[in-house]
Amino acid sequence: MAAVSAPGYQYVAQPVPPPPRRRRWLVAIVAGWALVLTGLAVWSIRNDPPTVPEQRNIALALPVLQRATGEMLAAAQGPGRAVALGPLSLARGCRITPVRDGIEGTREVTVYVQADQARPVLDAIAAGFPDGYRARVAQSGNGSRLALQADAGGYVAVNADTLADAQVFTLEASTGCRPIADTEKDSTDPAAGPPPAVLAAALKALGAAGPSSPATRTINCPRGGNASTYTVDNVPAPADLGGALEPAVNDATVLRADPQGWAYRLGDDSVVVAEDGGRLQVSATTACR
């Protein structure tokens, strides 16, 4: 009988018995486990490495990008090749989410090779990367295109995509789209040394006086030291570019020679001369030692 009712008395319910001891233990265990999970989540947020690039902003990604660029330049240099280091590019406007803007950092190394040497050179570049990059080269089904892919860590990728018969191609390191952050510290190149003698020799052959401080792009090399590309713009183009450069290319390995530009390697240094509208851009790049 759940309740008793008597004349003149209100309805009286029987008291509810206290919960069994077993139920109280179960509640305590669940509450304790919830605290453990909360603690693990807090520790994971503070200590675990990022699991997606969106968790690592551009300021954290740039040091990885710059190291990858040093590895690219060191792997790309070698006999039978000329190289040029590109500037750091920071492009806003990419999308992390449909409502969140981001920024992408990229840096390039341009490589000049002799005819029919694109595949051997790409294979040699892949072999020159650290083992952890897991660099590999693939060729399209019909053999007309080549691609290099490598993983520099920190969600920074290294790629190249070129025609199989190309004599110039570009290696690119990219951060992908990242959250925006202050990049002032890691977007500045290290200090460059004096320009190499090959730059002065090329300018002299072209009848131009080089500036005392040419534009420079510099990267730290993987095994210490640095390498730089020195550039002089707006040099008047001679009527016969090849004839003018002849004194400068003695003993050099010429990789490109046409009216629009020359590229050659002398010792460990590279020289690239590009013509545009009757003016020349002359660049010289030192090597990682």
72 Cα distance to chain centroid: 9
What is the pLDDT at residue 45? 38
Strand positions, DSSP E, 23-140: 81-85, 89-97, 100-113, 136-139
Rounded CA separation 114/148 (Å): 18
Q: Is the pLDDT of residue 217 over 90?
A: yes
Rounded CA separation 104/175 (Å): 6
Residue 167 near residue 111 (C-beta atoms within 8 A): no
Q: Could you count the other beta carbons within 10 Å of the beta carbon of residue 257?
A: 14
**Which strands make up the sheet holding 261-266, listed edge to edge?**
215-220, 226-236, 279-285, 269-276, 261-266, 253-258
Does residue 260 or residue 265 have the better pLDDT?
Answer: 265
What is the pLDDT at residue 230? 97
Residue 124 near residue 137 (C-beta atoms within 8 A): no
* Cα torsion 39, 42, 47, 49: sign: positive
Does residue 283 or residue 1 have the better pLDDT?
Answer: 283
Mean pLDDT of the chain: 87
What is the pLDDT at residue 159? 98
**How is residue 101 written in tokens?**
């803007």
CATH T-level assignment (fold) for domain 53-178: TBP-like (3.30.2030)
76-103: b (≥16 Cβ within 10 Å) or e = bbbeebbbbbbebebeeeeebeeeeebb
Q: Is the pLDDT of residue 224 over 90?
A: yes
Fold match flag (53-178 vs 197-285): no
Mean predicted confidence (pLDDT) in 164-183: 95
Q: Is the pLDDT of residue 79 over 50?
A: yes
Rounded CA separation 42/275 (Å): 58
Percent of the chain surpassing pLDDT 70: 81
Strand positions, DSSP E, 133-267: 136-139, 145-151, 157-163, 168-178, 215-220, 226-236, 253-258, 261-266
Tell me which amino acid residue 113 is. Answer: V
CATH of domain 197-285: 3.30.310
Of 13-17, 198-202, 252-256, minimum mean pLDDT range:
13-17
Rounded CA separation 259/278 (Å): 11
Q: Is the pLDDT of residue 34 over 50?
A: yes
Mean predicted confidence (pLDDT) in 105-116: 97
Q: What are the structural domain ranges in the chain?
A: 53-178, 197-285
What is the pLDDT at residue 185? 77
Rounded CA separation 209/251 (Å): 23
Give SS3 for 120: helix
Fill in the DSSP letter of residue 150. Answer: E
